[in-house]
Amino acid sequence: MRQNLEKPFFQLQAKSQRQRIEQINRSTQNEQPDSQAEMFANRLRKNLKKLAKWARQNQVYCYRLYDADLPEYAVAVDVYHGEQTWVNVQEYEPPKTIDPAKANQRLAGAMATITKVLEIPAEQVFLKIRCKQKSTNQYQKQGDSGHFHVVQEGGCKFWVNFEDYLDTGLFLDHRPMRLLIQQQAKGKHFLNLFGYTGSATVHAAIGGATASVTVDMSNTYLDWAQQNFDLNGICGHHKLVRANCLQWLAEQASSRQKPQFDLIFLDPPTFSNSKKMEQTFDIQSDHVQLIRNATALLAPDGVLYFSTNFRRFRMDREALANLIMDDISALMIPEDFARNAKIHYCWRISR
């Protein structure tokens, strides 16, 4: 059943989150370090020493520095290097048993510590509050700053935004997948489903893909993808399609003249009941038909890469027994996400 989630609810939630973020940012000015804050600072320094060296050696400019390593500081800290260094901080929603004032104080202390350890101005550190989502409100716009910055990855350039959306436009945990696609894309036709800001397509095009199709339902993200294309000089046979991916994929799979792709990337949401969709989507119950439709578009010797970040996901191998499936999850977890082996699951699928 579709939930009755009205727009004013989103606006109210976004407003309350912004107010809390502003309150925390003001609190950092007077925050005094305590013993726990020093533990957090020491962990940041330890991680920075290890990961900064790894990042330099592997030409990684954007990486996760800290991911709730200490239970008292349940935040994710991502570092982005461009013309400046920016830090994107995401707080995991604390349990209701935690006193809100104490949670705010600890988060303010974490923000102050991050600026000190990384030696950057507070203006270059951005905070997001992640709540448990029951629908698609994680995709609602959070602000209107319009501030975009350029970062690099694997010889590609991307626009990122730290203020206006819950996510920045570049999912750092999928770096190995994007690099793999880039390595395998030469001379191939590439399909990017639920394409978001088109980062995987940029990698494919830079890797030599002769043509691509990127499908997403959001005009905002397709415009963002086009900006990423322009930033990298991508033109020609690289098409952006605004459509419900589920419907588009089903229509193409049932067509008498199916388009064929040598390489497909399928990274659907865990759950969606967007008003733009005719029905609710749930990755666990709907993944079999989704994968069948995607593999129907594979060219001979084509490969589908399927990924999900649903932690309790179970692949229905029996229902997909006619496909060749290799679980490559362990290979797709980058060094900076090594503490969280369940950040996502990935399969290499062929017919």
Q: Tokens 């419907």 sit at which residue?
A: 247
What are the φ/ψ torsions at residue 23 (nearest 5 degrees)? Answer: -65, -45
For residue 243, the domain's CATH number is 3.40.50.150
Same domain, yes or no, for 209 and 71? Answer: no
233: left (phi over 0), alpha (psi -120 to 50) or beta: left
292-322 in b/e form (b: 16+ CB < 10 A) is bbbbbbbbeebbbbbbbbbeeeebeeeebee
Scored b (16 or more CB within 10 A) or e, 167-206 reads: bbbbbbbbbbbbbbbbebbeebbbbbbbbbbbbbbbbbbb
Contacts of 146 (CB under 8 A, 6+ apart): 164
Domain that holds residue 202: 171-350
Q: Are residues 62 and 205 in the same domain?
A: no
* pLDDT, tens digit, 9 for 90 and up, residues 277-293: 567 899 999 999 999 99
Mean pLDDT of 301-321: 97
How far CA 134 is from CA of 3, 5, 258, in Å, comes to: 9, 10, 35
- Among 139, 155, 188, the domain boundary falls at 139
In a domain? residue 98: yes
* 324 found inside a domain: yes
Q: Mark whether 115 and 195 lie in a shared domain.
A: no
Residue 300 pLDDT greater than 50, yes or no: yes
Across the range 289-316, mean pLDDT stands at 97
Classify residue 147: in a domain, yes or no.
Answer: no
**What is the longest distance spanned by two Cα atoms in the chain?**
68
Could you tell me if 206 and 338 lie in one domain? Answer: yes
Q: What is the DSSP letter of 334?
A: -
Considering the domain boundaries, does residue 35 fall inside one? yes
Asked if the model's pLDDT at residue 135 lies above 70, the reply is: no
Q: Is residue 158 part of a domain?
A: no
Q: Are residues 214 and 296 in the same domain?
A: yes
CATH of the domain at 14: 3.30.750.80
Residue 178: inside a domain, yes or no? yes
User: Are 63 and 125 found together in one domain?
Assistant: yes
- What percent of the chain has pLDDT above 70? 85
Taking Cα atoms as reference points, which of 57, 94, 87, 88 lies closest to residue 73?
A: 94
Q: How many domains does the chain have?
A: 2
Give the residue carrying structure tokens 């709907």: 286
227 in any annotated domain: yes
Instruction: Check residue 25 and give its pLDDT.
Output: 64
Residues 191 and 95 in one domain: no
